Amino acid sequence: MDCLVRSAAFAAGISVDILIEYIGHDGLEIIYPDLAWPYCCRGYCLPEIFEALFNLGFACVDIPKTLITVRSMASGFHVLDDVDHLEPYLMEPRYILYGGSHAIGINNNKIFDLMGKVQTIQDFDYDGIVIIKHMSSCLKSFNLT
């Protein structure tokens, strides 16, 4: 099973089976028969996990490590490639870190790594972070309940 869906379930504090049920497939369908396992499988992508989590009452925000600002075609663009803008989000209780072809889940400072190698978030070279919040906590934050 895919590290991304397992990390998302761990971070949200729900079972993998429930998340897969809401996604609508188990990711194991072989769609690239010429590739080796597990690369031959359908797998999962962030948008379908976001949709399933939304239907389960969670809000997700994907924040990439590298930010690109385009001012205009004439003036070009600015690339911000540091992690300073991500540091406040690493204090959140529930999130996924993803990078390369791997993802880890964090739930109240506990780390889930399907490969079992990541002991601290500093051990993981990530490309982005997905913050996961239950919508009831979002509503309370804005006094909307």
CATH number, domain containing residue 99: 3.90.70
Residue 76's pLDDT band (cuts 50, 70, 90): low
The answer, yes or no, to whether residue 104 has pLDDT greater than 70, is: yes
Residue 19: strand, helix, or coil: helix
Whole-angstrom distance between the N-terminal and C-terminal Cα of the chain?
37
pTM for the structure as a whole: 0.84
Q: Based on the structure, what is the number of domains in the chain?
A: 1
Closest CA to 128 of 48, 62, 80, 53: 62
Residue 20's pLDDT band (cuts 50, 70, 90): very high
- What is the domain extent for residue 22? 3-141
Residue 144: strand, helix, or coil: coil
Is 46 in contact with 62 (CB distance < 8 Å)? yes
Question: Which residue type, as a one-letter code, is found at position 1?
Answer: M
Task: Report, as an integer, the average pLDDT of 67-90.
Answer: 70
The answer, yes or no, to whether residue 110 has pLDDT greater than 70, is: yes
The answer, yes or no, to whether residue 145 has pLDDT greater than 60, is: no
The answer, yes or no, to whether residue 140 has pLDDT greater than 70, is: no
Q: How far is CA 38 from CA 28, 103, 138, in A?
A: 8, 15, 36
Task: Report, as an integer, the average pLDDT of 91-111.
Answer: 94
